[in-house]
Structure 1
């Protein structure tokens, strides 16, 4: 056999080539299937492990954190705290394992009505025991004293309330509230509500309008002034929290909102629509018209006025809204939620004037000075004369 014949004999035929290729592909396919099977098995096991791990984690989070640990920890739940905030607080204090699990436990069980106060919890308590305690308001101890701050109160009145319940004099409290060092420390501690606006030279009392109207419970016989002030500022922070987005949308500052709200609060009567009063103030500012609100005159003079007379309107003060346009340098009193909401969502009106009817407090609105003067004569001047006769 020649070399040429030998080479031709060894040369694979087309059929053999196809058969070899199919064989090799079959091997590759089997390898790929094995790899896919292995990867799939790994993924299934991983998923199962994750699900199983999650199940056991959730199960453990629903159980007491430490069934054998009965050590009591005092937990203060501030007024207005959300379920999320309470859960975070309990997790931080080492009472529960996971605040998110707590939140969904509360949600899925339709639990509501948590009460503020000082509680005593331990890691051995179940979520059911914890939520029942929060619902019933079973406190660690009864409050030693309470301070109720009404809406519309000014800083000197609040100082008197604190003085009546503590060993601090009114003068001592006001000095503390106006102390630049105090303001500096509080601004750092509560930057969400206290800003550089408080440092304006023309502001009479930096914290005017920032001590929220509420009932405060205290559990020490002689709490420090710092702790009393801090408690009230925390409540202001809680009260404003739901409105942060709308405040940002309106491009207003907290200081501006509280200032406007304080003017509304001092002008409103029980029969007044705060949102309509708010619209009057905003309508005036829109046309560069002074607000001309009488409570600012009384605040500028530092005294209560039964009636604002023409001679009072010339008082030299940045708080005099008959002389100066726009908002006052700061709030003139604390404002409740209804006035804060009115400051953020005024009614849509064309009114520029309003007055409270003599004897009844009924509020009447008007668009022009002529209408306002007619209403003043009818509902104030004439009614006052009638009552004096």
Structure 2
């Protein structure tokens, strides 16, 4: 048999060719499957080199002349009679039975018929089986296979990177740069790769545009964030100018709010332009930390400095102000008016919900009390506006009272004054607040109360005899009360009739009245008379002194 030699103009096969090594016939033989994990044994199986003669690896040395090879092989396999190919495979062409291999004792499939039996056609005998096809990279186009020339010039961008040359996933599917080089002719002449004159060049322009936009956006972004960084650290906070517009808004500031919190509320209402501007203006104002809780009426779009100044002006506040000594009945009416609800709404809430409004334990369950909340609607300024619930307003007032009573130690100091507890001390303070005409009177008035409560009191026999308690039970404020009227009324709040303190407070005492109840004078005062009937109160130690003061009062009143 003729050994394959070099064909005319042939070149040695390169080791990277797909039919060499693992990709060629030698690789295919090396990859024969095994059964049960053991290699398959075929006695006298040949090594394939030049198809019958010569050493294995002849493909590495020569390139076959395929027409001559085909004729020799075809003559070998198609002759009459059974011919064994160097002890190798017999393809069983033209109906000849296949010569089986001897059974291998270690091969569990040795005595079974092959997957391709003797009756199966020999596909190696067909004209298309040999010679084996060349690798795509080594094929040469026949003249008739070439597409018509289109005259399209791929231009200088054929060697650029895929990103700029418009290469996409279809290019990658062609098999890499080597195969693209092999097919470059077809792609340049209207084949798959050519998409008209605007194909790759259009993508080139679009890609460059994208790059320009990205770079331009990056520069712009750096500039913007750089400006923001500078403004945040060195620039002045945004602020309005002047005293604002003619449009006013109502802003509610809660107690204990920080400058930043106040600034947030003002910015939300468009009073100031930024929170930082307000915080800065408040810090620059010497009285900036004196802004109180309340409801403020302010102009929109004011400069932060003007907003701070206006909030420090009491005229800007629209709070509900609870005066010292005011009774609960009057406060309920004020709350109804501010909330714009029906008259009596807040009083009804107080009557039904008083246990749920935050009263301390020592203020609960006292007999004969007309209003358990009396004395706990602490005199102060409260932000009350339409839309709030009455119970929320009352709860805030009670919380304010609790805070003040804890601050002065009301519960701890009651026993030192001979009282049963803080409830009685609060009641004393309410009496001092109701009967004292001026703040200078409060400590003397407190002493009068304590002296009359003493068991040793023989002047009044432990009766307080205060008009204020009788007026409370009557819901009035009358300084002219007849003796017949007060002597006939047996209500527990009538201190002309009953000894000792009334069942509970008769109003809401302020800070000075509370302080006076904790620190009374020690001058022996036991009587007092408002000699002018308005603001002047005079005190006496004995009954005779009291009668003189009474005459003085009658003279001023025209009696």
Q: CA deviation at 1:360?
A: 5.3
Residue 311 of structure 1: how far off its partner (Å): 2.1
RMSD: 3.6
Distance (Å, rounded) in 1 between the aligned partners of 2:294 and 2:330? 27
- Shift of residue 255, structure 1, vs aligned partner: 2.0
- Greater C-alpha radius of gyration: 2
The secondary structure found in structure 2 opposite 1:321 is: coil
Contact 1:262 1:332 (C-alpha < 8 Å) held by counterparts = yes
SS at match of 2:344: helix
Bigger CA drift: 280-289 or 333-342?
280-289
How many Å separate the matches in 2 of 1:322 and 1:268?
18
The CA deviation at 1:177 is 0.9
> Is the contact made by 1:114 and 1:137 (CA closer than 8 Å) also made in structure 2?
no
Aligned match of 1:171: 344
Return closer, same or farther for 1:344/1:196 CA change in 2, 3 Å cut-off: closer
TM-score by length of 1: 0.60
Which structure's residues are more often helix, by fraction? 1
2:412 aligns with: 248
Q: What is the deviation of 1:208?
A: 1.1
Deviation at 1:298, TM superposition (A): 0.8
Shift of 1:339: 0.5
Match of 1:371 in 2: 545
Distance 2:332 2:556 in 1: 37
Contact 1:212/1:236 (<8 A) preserved: yes
The counterpart of 2:388, out of the listed 220, 223, 243, is 223
* Closer/same/farther in 2, CA of residues 301 and 356 from structure 1, 3 Å limit: same
| Correspondence for 2:293 | 117
Is 1:150 matched up with 2:323? Answer: yes
Q: Distance in 2 between matches of 1:307 and 1:111?
A: 46
Q: Which runs of 5+ in 1 are unaligned?
A: 1-66, 68-74, 90-109, 120-131
Distance 1:369 1:163, change over 3 A: same
Q: Which ranges of 4 or more aligned residues in structure 1 deviate by more than 6 Å?
A: 135-139
Partner of 1:353: 527
1:202-227 C-alpha deviation (Å, 9 max, x unpaired)? 10111112101111113x53101111
User: SS at the partner of 1:354?
Assistant: strand
Does the residue aligned with 2:332 lie in a helix, a strand or coil? helix
**Secondary structure of the structure 2 residue equivalent to 1:242:** helix
How many angstroms apart in 2 are the aligned matches of 1:154 and 1:111?
A: 33
CA pair 136-143 structure 1, distance change in 2 beyond 3 A: closer
Per the TM alignment, residue 254 of structure 1 is displaced from its structure 2 partner at its CA by: 3.3
Q: 2:374 aligns with which of 194, 204, 208?
A: 208
Taking the aligned partners of 1:176 and 1:360, their CA distance within structure 2 comes to 35
| Deviation of 1:325 (Å) | 1.7
Match of residue 282, structure 1, among 450, 462, 466? 450
**CA contact 2:451–2:524 (8 Å) conserved in 1:** yes
TM-score, normalised by the number of residues in structure 2: 0.43
Query: Once the 2 structures are TM-superposed, how far is the Cα of residue 143 of structure 1 from its aligned partner?
Result: 9.2
Residue matched to 2:399? 234
What do the CA deviations read for 1:11-31 (whole angstroms, capped 9, x no partner)? xxxxxxxxxxxxxxxxxxxxx
Indicate the residue corresponding to 1:125 in structure 2: none
Task: Please list every run of 5 or more consecutive structure 2 residues that lacks an aligned counterpart in the other structure.
Answer: 1-232, 234-251, 262-285, 296-304
**Aligned match of 1:321:** 495
Residue of structure 1 aligned with 2:466, choices 293, 301, 307: 293
The equivalent of 1:28 in structure 2 is none
Determine if contact 2:294/2:319 at 8 Å carries over to the other structure. Answer: no
